Amino acid sequence: MELHPHEHVAIGCFRGLVLMSIGIVLVGSAALFFAWRYTTPHDPLPGYNGTPQRGRILIARYGCASCHLIPGAATQGLVGPPLSHFGSRSYIAGVFPNQPIDLQQWLQHPQSMKPGTGMPDLGMSDRDARDVAAYLATLK
């Protein structure tokens, strides 16, 4: 097909713009991915079968940080105990050994596990509890 010279220029200019946009998007996505991959814990610890990243997001959704001090959370509650170094702690609520099943149970049913505790039942699903537990365990 025969093209006029100015049409070549126009198409060329457009192609440059498209390539540049694609480049910016690719480099930006790569930067975001690596920031996410290396600043948040990725693999669950042995014994925990949840997804730590999802647990971290869920902590914001359930509002855990309204009562607890949690590293990296937007709010810093002082109502309940701080959860910094939670993965290195021996007991949950001073009563239960800090193990995967106990932790998941505690997250779901604090009121029936320790009647009278200030921590409310939040209606957390099994999957959510697994993910939150997997995240808390990484806070060594």
Partner 1 sequence: MTFIAFAIAVIAWSLAVLRWAISLRRGRGRGAMVMLSCVVVVIAGASIALDVHAMWTARSAPSSSLDIRVVRHGDWWQLDYARDRVRVTTANELHVPAGERFTLNGRVVVAGLLWPDKPATPIVVQSREEFDRWLANEARPANVPLAAAWRFREDGCAYCHVIRGVVNETWRVAPDLTHFATRATIAASGLPNRRGQLTGWVVHSRGVKRESAMPDNAMRPEELHAVVALLESLH
Residue ranges in contact with partner 1 by CB under 8 A:
4-11, 13-14, 61-67, 75-79, 111, 116-118, 120, 122-123
CB of 15 to partner 1, least distance (A): 11
Cβ proximity to partner 1: between 46 and 123 the closer is 123
Q: Are 136 and 70 in contact (CB under 8 A)?
A: no
Inter-axis angle of helices 100-108 and 126-137, nearest 10: 130
CB of 66 to partner 1, least distance (A): 3
Cβ proximity to partner 1: between 17 and 31 the closer is 17
By the 10 Å C-beta count (0-12 exposed, 13-18 middle, 19+ buried), 88 is classed as exposed
CB of 128 to partner 1, least distance (A): 12
Q: What span, in angstroms and rounded, lies between the C-alpha atoms of 105 and 66?
A: 21
